[in-house]
């Protein structure tokens, strides 16, 4: 609009006044950008779109494998609300991989469990399930406890020492006598020092 010759000075001045271009280009010193804020409930992964290609209309994996969970013999996507009322209570329902009807094993009555550890190496040198005759003559509940034994070539070098109690003094005395006289722990071990652990 303004001639190069500059004959129309008023038109040139008006054009410069109404010019919409900024006087200075924005830099980090004279302009601040708003802080980027993440929208609530969104992450940067929401912009990534996973595109899997398949030659079929739907994946065929589900057709080749049996249903993982069934109810009344039907896969869960075919179960109606009425079918939930006719569930067989005798079977294991909604079982996943590796689930089966577990049959509990029958508990064998025992007098206790014994483990003997060498104090020098820390390795277990003897483990045994004690017969029912070793059961203490009390019905009080008792906790696993420990005894210390010193064994030489002739057997026990000293009486067994209770290092951790079973919380019932009668049980401590009973097992100390049983291991010394009936089980003969000194004859079963090589010379050395041992930690004996007894449990119900």
Q: Which of 118, 115, 198, 189 is nearest to 157 (CA)?
A: 189
Whether 3 has a pLDDT exceeding 80, the answer reads: no
The mean per-residue pLDDT over the stretch 38-54 comes to 65
| 5-36: pLDDT as tens digits | 556 788 888 877 777 666 666 666 666 666 66
pTM assigned to the model: 0.48
Whether 176 has a pLDDT exceeding 80, the answer reads: yes
Q: Could you give the CA distance from residue 151 to residue 193 in angstroms, rounded to a whole number?
A: 6
| 55-92: pLDDT as tens digits | 555 555 556 666 666 776 777 777 777 776 665 545 54
| 122-154: pLDDT as tens digits | 999 999 999 888 888 888 889 999 999 999 999
Task: Return the DSSP state at 195.
Answer: E
């Amino acid at each position: 609009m303004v001639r190069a010759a500059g004959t129309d000075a008023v038109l040139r001045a008006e054009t410069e006044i109404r010019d919409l271009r900024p006087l200075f280009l924005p830099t980090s010193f004279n302009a601040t950008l708003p802080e980027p804020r993440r929208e609530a409930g969104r992450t940067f992964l929401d912009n990534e779109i996973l595109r899997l290609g398949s030659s079929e209309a739907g994946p065929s994996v589900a057709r080749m494998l049996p249903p993982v969970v069934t109810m009344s013999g039907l896969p869960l996507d075919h179960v109606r609300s009425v079918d939930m009322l006719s569930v067989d209570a005798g079977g294991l329902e909604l079982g996943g991989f590796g689930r089966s009807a577990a049959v509990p094993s029958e508990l064998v009555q025992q007098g206790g469990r014994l483990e003997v550890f060498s104090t020098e190496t820390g390795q277990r040198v003897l483990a045994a399930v004690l017969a029912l005759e070793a059961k203490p003559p009390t019905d009080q509940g008792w906790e696993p406890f420990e005894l210390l034994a010193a064994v030489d070539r002739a057997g026990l070098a000293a009486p067994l020492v209770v290092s951790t109690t079973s919380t019932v003094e009668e049980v401590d005395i009973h097992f100390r006598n049983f291991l010394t006289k009936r089980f003969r722990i000194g004859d079963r071990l090589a010379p050395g020092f041992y930690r004996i652990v007894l449990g119900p």
